[in-house]
Amino acid sequence: MGIVAGAIGMGQTLQVAGMEADATHPQAMRPDGRGNIVREMDPRLATPQAVTTGNAINYHGGAVLHTVNLYYILYGNWAQTTLNRTGTTLLTNWAQNIGGTPYFNINTTYGDNTGNVPNAVTYKGAYTDTGSLGTNLSDSSIATLVVNAINSGAIGAKGVADPNGLYLVLTAPGVAETSGFLSKYCGWHSWGSLGTTPVQFGFVGNAAGSRLGSCAGQSTASPNNDPGADAMISVIAHELSETVSDPQGTGWYDANGQENGDKCAWNFGTTYKAVNGALANVNVGGKDYLIQQMWLNALGGKCALSYAATPDFGVSVSGAQSVQSGQKSGTYTLTANAVNGFAGAVAWTVSGLPAGITATPTSSMQGNSATFTLTAASSMAAGTYSIPVTGTSGSVAHTVSATLVVTAPSFNLTINPASKSVTRPTSGSTTVTYAVNVAPVGPLTKPVTLVASGGTTGITVSITGTNPVNPGSNGTLSVTITNSAKTGPRTLMVTGSAAGIASKQASTQIIIQ
């Protein structure tokens, strides 16, 4: 991940995680905190962890937040109208009450090897800046505002960053974020460090006015009669949930690079009408809000507005295995890990097998542990294959993938000896021979056809005796020299080929004296 210099304040520099693609790893996909996918460094490989998996979102081995502190940085003229002043109160009410709700409880389904995200958010207060950087902010301006807030002492100890915090810059109407607010995103989260302290921070803008529809689920009404602030709260919920489950870009996101908020963006689920007739779907702190759903890492995975911890299980499979085509793998072990007191029985199904791969149970496929092997047919092409395995208990199902690496049979070709000397005859011809060895690599059963090359005036080369040659046997390279051959060294080649296998070459030398 690239590192670029961020804001500077009171001698401190916020080093911000860069979002640029890394061309040296063109296939690695990860989120960039803005609902986009970037091709960047390979995510850290997950080691076996006590985490729930198999719910269409993947764990990449990094930490989640185990304490969640929320800081507001209110930027711009929030006092320009009575409605704006009401908006800050609305934003604060949500922050003070979101912890402990069924909605935020969705995030408790995400964890790392030390535990899960808690259903608790502590609102730590707000820092106000009425517009010191103008009304056109860049990404680096956001980092500057975060450092200024930390250095002010208004939220937390002066100059001390909170590694468990999310510092959100919330801008008033009329403030632009020039990297794409309203055209590419409604908010984003990022991460960096002050010294050695990790810092999570982000941006959410108020789109009140003619562009509100770009960042609001409903543009003509809102449950609290403040369309701009109401819309911001859904975006804040999105960024907060992504931050707690993926604070440093090494936590939770799916194979397409989407974090838990991205997977349910603009999906509000079941709604009801608030007192004023606007749509809402949750009540937090006695107020109705319309907030996007969040991806639930349980019950198979789905967008949800709430989560009540129920018995569940996670699934895992032992590591990748490698075989040559025509061979059987070692044993894969499937394990169901109980969550929230799960005590049910799990039935395992191996499905989606590519043509040429068969699965053979080596234990009962009923229970919290099971074993099986995979066999690759002799015709199987080399490659890496992902085999879905599903564990089912009642109406709950989780899927995990077993990885099988198939290598194709091959052979090695050598010529002995590596060199021969021969005296050019004064008349007639002289013939010398070399042994051409075909050594199988893997279960090679196909015969190998040999072709000799390198002959020239006075030098004739050929393969004599049995041809094609069975793997593990020798062919014979015959070289006939006449008195028209030039003296000196000459390189001779033998090419071996078998059906469906890349050809191989070997060389030797004849020295004519």
Please say which residue of 304, 327, 351 terminates a domain: 304
Looking at the fold, whether 379 and 280 belong to one and the same domain comes out as: no
Judged against a pLDDT cut of 80, whether residue 82 lies above it is answered with no
Q: In the listed set 278, 304, 330, which residue is the last one of a domain according to the structure?
A: 304
Q: Kindly state whether residue 55 falls inside one of the protein's structural domains.
A: no
Average pLDDT over residues 363-392: 92
What does the alpha-carbon distance between residue 143 and residue 191 come to, in Å, rounded to a whole number? 10
**Model confidence over 159-190: pLDDT tens digits?**
999 999 999 999 999 999 999 999 999 999 99
Q: Answer whether residue 388 is part of any domain.
A: yes
Confidence of residue 16 (pLDDT cuts 50, 70, 90): confident
Here the CATH number for the domain that contains residue 418 is 2.60.40.2310
Residue 121 lies in a domain: yes
- Residue 321 vs residues 13, 324, 454: alpha-carbon distances, Å: 46, 10, 43
In the β-sheet with 396-407, what is the strand arrangement from edge to edge? 321-324, 396-407, 383-393, 347-350
In a domain, 357, yes or no: yes
Residues 359 and 468 in one domain: no
Find how far residue 290's CA is from the centre of its chain: 30
Same domain membership, residue 297 and residue 209: yes
Flag whether pLDDT at 43 surpasses 90: no
Same domain, 131 and 254: yes
Whole-number average pLDDT of the chain: 88
pLDDT at 11 over 60: no
* pLDDT range class, residue 309, cuts 50, 70, 90: confident
Confidence at residue 3, expressed as pLDDT on a 0 to 100 scale: 20
pLDDT score at 319: 82
DSSP 477-498: EEEEEETTSPSEEEEEEEEEEE
Residue 133 is given by DSSP the state: T
Residues 369 and 388 in one domain: yes
Residue 493 lies in a domain: yes
Question: Residue 35: what pLDDT?
Answer: 63
Q: How confident is the model at residue 48 (pLDDT cuts 50, 70, 90)?
A: very low
Give 259's contacts (C-beta < 8 A, 6+ positions apart): 31, 33, 242, 245, 246, 252, 253
Instruction: Decide if pLDDT at 46 tops 50.
Output: no
User: In the sheet that 501-512 helps form, which strands lie side by side, from edge to edge?
Assistant: 419-422, 501-512, 488-498, 449-453
C-alpha distances out from residue 364 to 320, 344, 349, 400, Å: 21, 16, 11, 18
- In the predicted structure, residue 466 carries a pLDDT above the cut 50: yes
Q: What is the distance between the alpha carbons of residues 361 and 349, in angstroms, rounded to a whole number?
A: 10
Neighbours of 452 (CB within 10 A): 23
* Shared-domain flag, residues 317 and 300: no
- CA terminus-to-terminus distance, the chain: 63
Q: Say yes or no: 293 and 277 in one domain.
A: yes
> Looking at the domain assignment, is residue 160 inside a domain?
yes
At 393, which CATH number? 2.60.40.10
The phi and psi torsions of 461 (rounded to 5 degrees) equal: -120, 145
Number of domains in the chain: 3
Are 444 and 391 part of one and the same domain? no
- Rounded to 5 degrees, what are φ and ψ at 248? -125, 20
CA 96 to chain centre: 33
Mean pLDDT of 223-239: 95
| Full domain range(s) for residue 508 | 410-512
Claim to verify: residue 428 and residue 484 sit in the same structural domain: yes
- Mean pLDDT for the stretch of residues 205-219: 86
DSSP tag of 181: B
Which of 373, 407, 441 delimits the end of a domain?
407
Q: Quick check: 101 pLDDT over 70? A: yes
Give per-residue pLDDT as tens, 279-306: 999 999 999 999 999 999 998 999 999 9
pLDDT tier at 83 (50, 70, 90 boundaries)? low
Pairing of strands 122-129, 69-75: parallel
Residue 45 lies in a domain: no
> What percent of the chain stands above pLDDT 90?
70
User: Does any domain span residue 221?
Assistant: yes
Q: Is the model's pLDDT at 47 over the cut of 60?
A: no
* 423 in the same domain as 488: yes
Together in a domain, 234 and 337 = no
Same domain, 218 and 337: no
Which has the minimum average pLDDT: 1-10, 98-107, 109-118, 279-288? 1-10
